[in-house]
Amino acid sequence: MKRFLTFCFLLFSVSPSLANTLVLLSIDGFRWDYLDWPEAQRMKRMAEQGVRVNQLQVVYPSKTFPAHLSIATGLRPTSHGVVDNYFCRSDRSDCYRMGSGQKDPDWLAGTPLWTLVEQQGGRASTFFWPESDAKFGGILPTDYRAYDVSVSPSAKVQQATEWLSLPEADRPDLVTLYFSTVDTSGHTYGPDAPETKAAIAETDYWVDRLWRSIQDINRQQDAEISLIVLSDHGMSAVDPRQFIDTNTLPRPKGFRRVNSSTRVMYYRRDPNADVTALAANLREASNGRYRVVSEETLAERHYTRHPAVADLIIETDPPRLFRHGGARGPDLRGMHGYPATVEDMAAFFVAIGPGFSVGKVIPKAHQLDVYPIAATLLDLPLPDGVVSEGGALRDALVAPIRE
């Protein structure tokens, strides 16, 4: 892309891009308020030197794959197709599981940032961002990695540093990274547990190491590399004593039931199955523990008109969740996936580098605002259908978005 932009500059005297490279790093399950905890002091210092969004509002549902694909494509889940971590569709006999797009790209829609970069003749290097090893429009990133939970943060930072240290003509325009330990600890031990705080501290250390490496490269090579650090969702504490046993829920013939922890989705497999009767039975059995989500509410959440949207959905609030057999083991103390109205679901956002303002605090922005900001930073044209024009994040850029 740099060679393409240089050519355009010589021919048409267009303005150069705001940054030669953007690093987009996701910390799964890093709740919005974690940034003010002592364990995140290095990232907080970065936020003070760059841009901070106090609360990054999340798409519905607040799950890892829908959120990451929304950040990457600028589309809502019902537009990019990944409406949960596990879901079915009315027009397919099989169901989606995390990463299914790698083998079957038909699950996916939209133009992720890495694809947009490659389409413009640039180089994208991705490290574990969900579905970044899948073909969108038949295109893969120049560099990508199949997900491997055993790969250490150290190895990720080292690889990213090697990519970023390449000469300008070969350096990637976009680098993505994904850290999962904060989410894993939050689920297992709960958001306030010492183990989760330790995971935050470890991640904080490696993000700082990455930023220091970026600063060195910017100085030594006169580069213009900027960094965005964000999360896909937050985390709420759950109470095993209040788990809802899915075995106690109505399961009439003609429906396929899918448990998504905070929601249960009913897909009609028999066209004669009675959704109205099922809804009535579920309301009668709820006893205040959950609610049937109305069509009006789903419309407000932009969660309609897609074959992956179940015919009927019930949802609960923290500290409850749905679990098969009502299992109460000590291995689940935190959960996400609740509606965005639950404040714990809010994510965080920090941006720093030559493309971003200094000392800027934005009270609230939305995950869908990230895509147009990233595209503007890299001087890339926005594809059709992108939801946001940048929203509150427009103020994050050191130069304004061109109308």
Question: Considering the domain 240-332 in this protein, what is its CATH number?
Answer: 3.30.1360.180
Task: Give first-to-last CA distance, the chain, whole Å.
Answer: 22
Comparing C-alpha atoms, which of 229, 231, 235 is closest to residue 188? Answer: 235
Tokens found for residue 104: 């079957």
Domain boundaries, the chain: 2-237+341-396, 240-332
The whole-number pLDDT of residue 219 equals 97
Residue 2: what pLDDT?
54
> What pLDDT score was predicted for residue 251?
83
Helices 194-221 and 181-189, axial angle in degrees (round to 10): 170
Q: How far apart are CA 319 and CA 335, in angstroms?
A: 9
Q: What count of other Cβ atoms lies within 10 Å of the Cβ of residue 169?
A: 9
In sequence order, what are the residues at sequence separation of 6 or more whose Cβ sits closer than 8 angstroms to the Cβ of residue 348? Answer: 30, 31, 32, 34, 35, 53, 55, 56, 229, 230, 231
228, 25 in Cβ contact below 8 A? yes
Question: Could you give the 3-state DSSP secondary structure of residue 75?
Answer: coil
Q: Hey, which bits of 7-48 come out as E strands?
A: 21-27
Q: What is the pLDDT of residue 19?
A: 57
CA distance linking residue 24 with residue 374, whole number of Å: 9
Helix (H) or strand (E) holding 322: strand 322-323
Residue 299: Cβ within 10 Å count: 11
- From residue 356, give the alpha-carbon distance in Å to each of 21, 204, 373: 13, 20, 10
Residues 6+ apart with CB under 8 A from 129: 24, 26, 68, 72, 114, 176, 177, 178
Could you tell me which of 182, 183, 165, 164 has the C-alpha nearest to residue 85?
183
DSSP designation for 129: -
From CA 352, how far away is CA 55, in angstroms rounded?
17
Orientation angle between helical segments 41-49 and 194-221, nearest 10 degrees: 40
* Continuous segment of H or E residues that includes residue 136: none
How high is the pLDDT of residue 74? 98
Per-residue pLDDT, 50? 98
Query: CATH second-level architecture of 2-237+341-396?
Result: 3-Layer(aba) Sandwich (3.40)
Output the pLDDT for position 369.
98
**Mean pLDDT in consecutive groups of 10 residues from the start of the chain, 403 residues:** 41 43 98 98 98 98 98 98 97 95 96 97 96 96 93 97 96 98 98 98 98 98 96 97 94 93 96 96 96 98 97 98 82 96 98 97 98 96 95 90 57
Query: Maximum distance among all alpha carbons in the chain?
Result: 70
**Residues 6+ positions from 155 with CB-CB distance below 8 Å:** none
- pTM here is 0.94
Sign of the CA dihedral with 26 first, then 395, 46, and 29 last: negative
Alpha helices in 250-303 (DSSP H): 275-286, 295-300
Residue 272's Cβ-count burial label (10 Å; 0-12, 13-18, 19+) is: exposed
How far apart are alpha carbons 42 and 35 in whole angstroms?
Answer: 9
C-alpha Rg value of the chain to the nearest Å: 21
Query: What angle (nearest 5°) sits at the alpha carbon of residue 353, between those of residues 351 and 357?
Result: 65
